[in-house]
Amino acid sequence: YEVPLLRTSRHTSEFSGKLGQQVASPLVTLIDDGSLANEWGSLAIDDEGIPTQQNVLIENGILRGYLVDRLNGRRLGMAPTGSARRKNYRFAPQARMTNTYIANGTSTREEIIANTERGLFVKYINGGSVNPATGEFNFNACESYLIEKGRIAEPVKGVTLIGKGSDILQQVDMVANNLEIRHGYCYAGSGPLYIGAGQPTVRVANMTVGGAR
């Protein structure tokens, strides 16, 4: 979700100009929080000297905010959000993610699986790409299983998930209460950075799944 924070002031993001609009399922609340304790993306102040904070980007499906640095804050008429980051002095600070996650819902993982007649349970994703202007993505699933009649069945290999971020957000119809934030890296214009990214188990009603037999 570095799409809005890096591109929106230039009107090249799929979320540009959509503050206050429904951009996701009402079950989706998306947060970036650089003040969380003991997470990889956490820091006391950003690289422009502004304290980090919890930034609610999407609340119950409504786009509530962007991540902005001082420069883009002036362009947008918004206060900076404590999100300016860079690898070192060789890079200019840019608004970047810290710890970004989907908030817990009210279902359990077991309920989601039991209520799925036929589906794909993706446990881990390993690599992929995102077009920051359009939100189109493809991700490689390194561990996934078929769901048959509400139960996890045989494993599936060679799975690729294909879609557009805004479309997938609208397709979320169940969200569990088992949020887990994992450590990782984000690569963008101000250099590679430590980040946290996470979500509970979510169910997406429709998604294009590619792969080879």
Least confident of 88-92, 140-144, 184-188: 184-188
For the chain, the domains span 3-106+165-203
- Which residue from 47, 28, 37 is spatially nearest to 193, judged by alpha carbons? 47
Q: How confident is the model at residue 133 (pLDDT cuts 50, 70, 90)?
A: confident
Distance CA 36, CA 157 (A): 35
Angle at 186 between CA 185 and CA 191, to 5 degrees: 110
Q: How far is Cα 193 from Cα 186, in angstroms, rounded to an integer?
A: 5
**pLDDT given for residue 162 in this prediction:** 94
Give the model's pLDDT for residue 6.
40
Q: How far is CA 197 from the centre of its chain?
A: 7
What pLDDT sits at residue 10?
53
pLDDT above 80: residue 211: no
Within the chain, how many helices (H) and strands (E) appear? 4, 15
Q: What is the pLDDT of residues 149-202, one digit of tens each?
A: 999 999 999 899 999 999 999 999 999 999 999 999 888 889 999 999 999 999
Alpha carbon distance 133, 13 (integer Å):
5
- pLDDT at position 17, please? 87
Q: Check: pTM over 0.85? Answer yes or no.
A: yes
Q: What is the pLDDT of residue 29?
A: 98
Tokens 């999407």 locate to 58
pLDDT at 11: 56
